[in-house]
Amino acid sequence: MKSTSTKLFSAAAILTASLLAPSVMRAQDGATTYKAKCAACHGPDGKGQTSAGKAMSAGDFASPDVQKMSDADLSAIITNGKDKMPSYGKSLKADQIQSLVAFIRTFKK
């Protein structure tokens, strides 16, 4: 028979895993979309140091400036475009954009 503290620990671990799983899954889904739509300019490491990224002044996703942006701000940029970056609002669904934002968060230094 499990002790009360063991049961509570198990319940807390399950709850934590269930809360984290959606964001981890979104980031994994975002990685696939990122490779297809973003990596050509922003690069596989998100630093924007590809030929196309340099030409377009693509942002560094690991930078504090990008990482301090809200999810809503990042979503708006993906949806509407910014400067030379095209808009993806017509070609990506809202859940794909949310997944991209979650993936961009993985570049945090």
| pLDDT tens sequence across 15-74 | 454 444 455 555 578 899 999 999 999 999 999 999 999 999 999 999 999 999 999 999
Mean pLDDT to the nearest integer, 3-21: 52
pLDDT at 77: 97
Q: Is residue 16 part of a domain?
A: no
Chain centroid to Cα 17, Å, comes to: 19
How many domains is the chain built from?
1
Kindly report the length of the chain. Answer: 109
Q: Is residue 37 part of a domain?
A: yes
pLDDT at 21: 47
pLDDT at 29: 80
Q: Look up the pTM and report it.
A: 0.74
Residue 93, burial from CB neighbour count under 10 angstroms (0-12, 13-18, 19+): exposed
Amino acid at 94: A
Domain that holds residue 51: 23-105
**CATH number of the CATH domain containing 32:** 1.10.760.10
Q: Is residue 71 part of a domain?
A: yes
Task: Please tell me whether residue 85 adopts helix, strand or coil conformation.
Answer: strand
Residue 67, burial from CB neighbour count under 10 angstroms (0-12, 13-18, 19+): middle
Q: Is residue 6 part of a domain?
A: no
Q: Is residue 9 part of a domain?
A: no
Using the structure block, give the residue that is written with the tokens 């991209």: 100
